[in-house]
Amino acid sequence: MSRRYRVLHRTSYSYDDVVTNSYGRAYLTPRDIAGQQRLHRHRVKVEPAPTDEAQSPDVYGNLSSYFQVTSEHWELVVTSESVVEVQAPAPGRLTEGAALRPWEEARPTAADGARAVEFVLDLVPAEITPEVRAYAADVLRPGRPIGEAVADLTARIFADFTYTAGSTTVSTKVADVFAARHGVCQDFARLAIACLRSQGLAARYVSGYLATDPPPGREHVFGIDATHAWAAVRLPDDTWLAFDPTNNQFVGERYVTVGWGRDYVDVPPLRGIIYSDSTTSTIAVSVDVAEVSH
Domain count, the chain: 2
Confidence band of 212 (pLDDT split at 50, 70, 90) = confident
Same domain, 138 and 240: yes
Confidence band of 265 (pLDDT split at 50, 70, 90) = very high
Please check whether residue 40 is in contact with residue 57, taking contact to mean a CB–CB distance below 8 angstroms: no
d(CA 155, CA 133): 17
Say if 261 falls within a structural domain. Answer: no
Query: Tens digits of per-residue pLDDT, 124-158?
Result: 999 999 999 999 999 999 999 999 999 999 999 99
Please check whether residue 234 is in contact with residue 108, taking contact to mean a CB–CB distance below 8 angstroms: yes
Query: Tens digits of per-residue pLDDT, 215-260?
Result: 666 665 554 578 999 999 999 999 999 999 999 999 999 999 999 9
Same domain, 161 and 237: yes
Query: Tens digits of per-residue pLDDT, 143-200?
Result: 999 999 999 999 999 999 999 999 999 999 999 999 999 999 999 999 999 999 999 9
Same domain, 112 and 175: yes
Say if 131 falls within a structural domain. Answer: yes
d(CA 115, CA 276): 39
240-244: strand order across its sheet: 249-250, 240-244, 227-234, 203-210, 255-261
Same domain, 6 and 129: no
d(CA 175, CA 157): 14
Q: What is the mean pLDDT of residues 104-121?
A: 92
Q: Where are the beta strands (DSSP E) in the chain?
A: 2-26, 37-47, 52-57, 63-69, 73-87, 162-163, 182-183, 203-210, 227-234, 240-244, 249-250, 255-261, 270-276, 281-292
Same domain, 179 and 213: yes
Same domain, 57 and 105: no
Give Rg (Cα) of the chain: 20
Query: Tens digits of per-residue pLDDT, 31-76?
Result: 999 999 999 999 999 999 999 999 999 999 999 999 999 999 999 9
CA 294 to chain CA centroid, Å, is 26
Same domain, 104 and 214: yes
CB count within 10 Å of CB 21 equals 15
Say if 264 falls within a structural domain. Answer: no
Say if 59 falls within a structural domain. Answer: yes
Residue 13: strand pairing partners: 76, 283
Q: Give pLDDT, residue 202.
A: 97
Same domain, 61 and 96: no
Say if 257 falls within a structural domain. Answer: no
Residue type, 46: V
Same domain, 198 and 96: yes
What b/e string do you get for 198-225 counting C-beta neighbours within 10 Å, with b at 16 or more? bbebbbbbbbbbbbeeeeeeeeeeeeeb
Residue 182: strand pairing partners: 162
Assign residue 274 the CATH number of its domain: 2.60.40.2250
Same domain, 96 and 237: yes
Please give the model's pTM, rounded to 2 decimal places: 0.94
Q: Between vectors from CA 219 to CA 214 and to CA 224, what angle results, nearest 5°?
A: 60
Please check whether residue 222 is in contact with residue 241, taking contact to mean a CB–CB distance below 8 angstroms: no
Assign residue 227 the CATH number of its domain: 3.10.620.30
Same domain, 75 and 197: no
Say if 156 falls within a structural domain. Answer: yes
Same domain, 159 and 190: yes
- What's the domain range around 66? 2-86+269-292
